Structure 1
């Protein structure tokens, strides 16, 4: 069972740090905190790609069965 607290709100942002095609860090928070995290990760990992995008709820294949 999924509770409301487990589902990211549409206003949240997802920050990911990429090493090639592999995600090595994944962080979801409200926009202000996500921007701070992105800035810190960009400084810390200057040679890696850091992305920020709207957070979306992940729906697994079994969700359509319920």
Structure 2
């Protein structure tokens, strides 16, 4: 089965939940939704690291 994956926009943010060096959740969305998701994941996984960063890096644009 193929899944259609849209390319993130330059304004999108990527939220990841980390268990040590392993990513256990990865979510990309517009900034407002990403911030809400980050807040929810921080509450849910209060002992894990939750990061938010631009979804598109300079390397992706080249």
TM-score by length of 2: 0.82
Work out whether 1:22 is the aligned partner of 2:60.
Answer: no
Deviation at 1:6, TM superposition (A): 2.1
Count of residues in Structure 1 that have an aligned counterpart in Structure 2: 56
Deviation at 1:56, TM superposition (A): 1.5
Secondary structure class of the residue paired with 2:23: strand
TM-score by length of 1: 0.77
Structure 1 ranges of 4+ moved more than 4 A: none
- Structure 2 unmatched runs, 5+: none
- Structure 1 unmatched runs, 5+: 60-66
The answer to which of 36-45 and 49-58 deviates more is: 49-58
